[in-house]
Structure 1
Amino acid sequence: MRRGVIFDIDGTLVDTNYLHVTAWWEGFRRQGRDVLMVDIHGAIGRADRDLIDYLLPDVSDEEAQAISDTHAELYKPRIDEVRPVPGAGELLQALSDRGLLVVVATSAPKDEAERLIGITGGQDAVSALVHSGDVDKSKPHPEPVRQALDKSGLPPNNAIMVGDSVWDALAARAAKVGCVALRSGGIDTGSLLEAGAEAVYKDCRDLLYHVDETPIGRLLQD
């Protein structure tokens, strides 16, 4: 029976969340929209249009496109400056070495997702990638997690989601997959647990150090 771990990217494997926040903030500002950074931060993890609709329910298609274009204009040139979350590549490789499938499910486009995975140094451990082009809906909808299960052949009871946002935890719960959350994206422990995470760790390095004590450890012991 296949067993594996499904990873989010932004805030989970790479330290990008606050770069996204400032780029989105500027996009809203240029359209005359005053959106607090703390609210933008709470929406990170949703796909572009879903994030905009969540924060601005009255937004027009034209305005949303302008906001999204500004975000891309400001964020994409900085991808090469991005650094991995501590322990990210080591965690991916360690889980693969111990016989688990490592899958990534993200709302990022394919080319961006592959660049970010490469930044971790753990790209050789990743057996499947679900990106924005593979799905119609983003987290917290379960479709990205379900697609990750389908691509990898993992049954829900033999998979664990690792993410940094409440949207990751909610998507995992809706897909009937367990979830371990990380605080590396800036979300507090209480919010992550309330959304459905079974356990919360500081970052990938902390999770790797404690992995046998986590829900992932159950997969390694079966």
Structure 2
Amino acid sequence: MRHGVIFDLDGTLVDTNYLHVVAWWEGFRRRGHDVLMVDIHGAIGRADRALIDYLLPSVSDEDAQAISDTHAALYKPRLDEVRPVRGSGELMRRLSDAGLRVVVSTSAHKDDAERLIGITGAEDAVTAVVHAQDVEHSKPDPEPVRHALDKAGVSADQAVFVGDSVWDALAARGAGVECVALRSGGIDTGSLTDAGARAVYKDCAELLQHLDQSPLARLLTG
């Protein structure tokens, strides 16, 4: 029976969440919208338009496009400066070497996702990638998680989702997949647990250190 681990990308495998926050904040500001950075941070993990609509429910299409364009213009040039979350590449390789399917499910666009996965240094450990263009709905809708399961050929009960946001935990729960959460994206343990995370670790390195006692252990021995 195939087993798999589905990873979120931003904030989970690469340290990008606060870079996103500043770029989105500037996008909103240039269009005359005063949105607090703390609120933007809480929305990270949703796809572009879903994030904008969550923060500004009545925003026009023109405004939304301009905000998104500013975010991309400020964010993309900084991608080469992004660093992996501690232990991310090592964790993915450990799981792949154990025979698990490693899938990345992200709200990032395809080109950004490929560049960021490369930053982990473990792109060859990844079986499949689900990016923004692959799905109609972003997290917290379970569609991205279900699509990742389909791509990996793994059933929900034989997979674990690893993410850093409330939206990740809610999407995993909606898809019937156990969730392990990381605080590397800046979200507190209580919020992650309340959203459905079975266990919470500081980052990939701490999860790797405690792998045999984590919810992923059953996949390694199953």
For Structure 1 versus Structure 2, the TM-score category normalised by the shorter chain is: over 0.9
Find the counterpart in structure 1 of residue 206 from structure 2: 206
In 2, distance between residues paired with 1:221 and 1:206? 20
The one-letter code sitting in structure 1 at the alignment partner of 2:46 is R
The one-letter code sitting in structure 2 at the alignment partner of 1:98 is A
Matches within 5 A, 1:179-218: 179-218=179-218
Deviates more, 1:85-94 or 1:212-221: 212-221
CA-CA distance at 1:40 after TM superposition: 0.1
The unaligned stretches of length 5 or more in structure 1 are none
Find the counterpart in structure 1 of residue 141 from structure 2: 141
CA-CA distance at 1:221 after TM superposition: 1.6
Find the counterpart in structure 1 of residue 33 from structure 2: 33
CA-CA distance at 1:111 after TM superposition: 1.1
Find the counterpart in structure 2 of residue 172 from structure 1: 172
Matches within 5 A, 1:81-160: 81-160=81-160
CA-CA distance at 1:51 after TM superposition: 0.2
Find the counterpart in structure 2 of residue 75 from structure 1: 75
Matches within 5 A, 1:30-69: 30-69=30-69
Find the counterpart in structure 2 of residue 10 from structure 1: 10
The unaligned stretches of length 5 or more in structure 2 are none
The one-letter code sitting in structure 1 at the alignment partner of 2:19 is L
In 1, distance between residues paired with 2:133 and 2:47? 11
In 2, distance between residues paired with 1:101 and 1:150? 11
4+ runs of 1 displaced by more than 3 Å? none
- TM-score, length-normalised on structure 1? 0.99
In 2, distance between residues paired with 1:212 and 1:113? 29
CA-CA distance at 1:6 after TM superposition: 0.1
1:121-166 superposed Cα distances (whole Å, 9 cap, x missing partner): 0101000000011000000000000000011100000000000000
In 2, distance between residues paired with 1:88 and 1:149? 20
Q: Give the root-mean-square deviation of aligned CA atoms.
A: 0.4
CA-CA distance at 1:109 after TM superposition: 0.8
In 2, distance between residues paired with 1:217 and 1:9? 21
- TM-score, length-normalised on structure 2? 0.99
Find the counterpart in structure 2 of residue 161 from structure 1: 161
1:165-184 superposed Cα distances (whole Å, 9 cap, x missing partner): 00000000000000000000
In 2, distance between residues paired with 1:198 and 1:171? 14
Q: Kindly tell me the number of residue pairs found equivalent between the two proteins.
A: 222
The one-letter code sitting in structure 2 at the alignment partner of 1:18 is Y
In 2, distance between residues paired with 1:94 and 1:113? 21
